[in-house]
Amino acid sequence: MSDQDSQDPQDEELRELIEEALKLNINQKKTFKTRANLLNYVAGYLEEHLDSFILLAYDMDGKPVTIKSTQTIQQDEALRSMLISYFATEVGRM
């Protein structure tokens, strides 16, 4: 059974929502005058749909992007725990 088969349908729906938010075609890229404008746009979109999140990505120029949004200490700790779990799982696959 692959990871895809065992995923919760809500996780897949959320993944698709995030992918849609992050897909910026060339025309859209040109509308952002600064990197800060792009990051604010992406963060704003995700904040409309997610309670808390950490985004690790690369922009269209290959520069690393990190955006973190939490409202409480509990959310911050939950995201840290999720990251630790994620990295432990990924390291185990190597």
The yes-or-no verdict on residue 25 having pLDDT over 80 is no
Q: Which two tokens stand for residue 22?
A: 């992050």
**What is the per-residue pLDDT for 16?**
81
The yes-or-no verdict on residue 4 having pLDDT over 50 is no
The yes-or-no verdict on residue 79 having pLDDT over 60 is yes
The yes-or-no verdict on residue 24 having pLDDT over 70 is no
Residue 24 and residue 42: Cα distance in Å, rounded?
10
Task: Give percent of the chain above pLDDT 90.
Answer: 36
